[in-house]
Structure 1
């Protein structure tokens, strides 16, 4: 986990927790099949990170815009992966053997 956290911008760690709770909510609501929850979390993560990245960058050139888009997508995927990791750690820790 420490490896993943090293790549996530500290300001975006809260997004991982938001995605964790969104996933728990989707599972309890039974609104979608479980296999789609990580994909939905990934999409939500990318959208939220895109909003943050573009709100905090000075995108003056095409290169700046491309870098901001790349950062938003990679950060969104990382926080979605982190939320899934947290979910699995909690599941395994509470699992009786």
Structure 2
């Protein structure tokens, strides 16, 4: 499953998944936010981080280019957030005793 997700993530944005994983772990440790909201926070942060990357790397000459940039930022943000959550669950399951 993880391989399928990473096939669609731009290689230069894989680092965002790592950053989101660390942010998620930090949020969980603070206990300031309920666990059920952490994936939503990571999704929003992923979209924001990817939007910054898109703004820095894409031309904005037409409405079509703007629409594509927004689409890319949202999709890549969701994918990197999904990857970070998936890694978190794999780590949890590997340490779980049955």
Structure-1-length-normalised TM-score: 0.98
Partners of 1:31 and 1:43 in 2: how far apart? Answer: 17
Gaps of 5+ in 1: none
Equivalents in 2 of 1:59, 1:86: separation in Å?
34
**RMSD, matched Cα:** 0.5
The alpha carbon displacement at 1:58 in A equals 1.1
Gap regions ≥5 residues in structure 2: none
Partner residue, 2:46: 45
Please state if 1:3 is matched with 2:7.
Answer: no
User: Number of paired residues?
Assistant: 97
Which position in structure 1 is the counterpart of 2:58? Answer: 57
Runs of 4+ in 1 over 6 A off after TM superposition: none
Q: Structure 2 length normalisation: TM-score?
A: 0.97
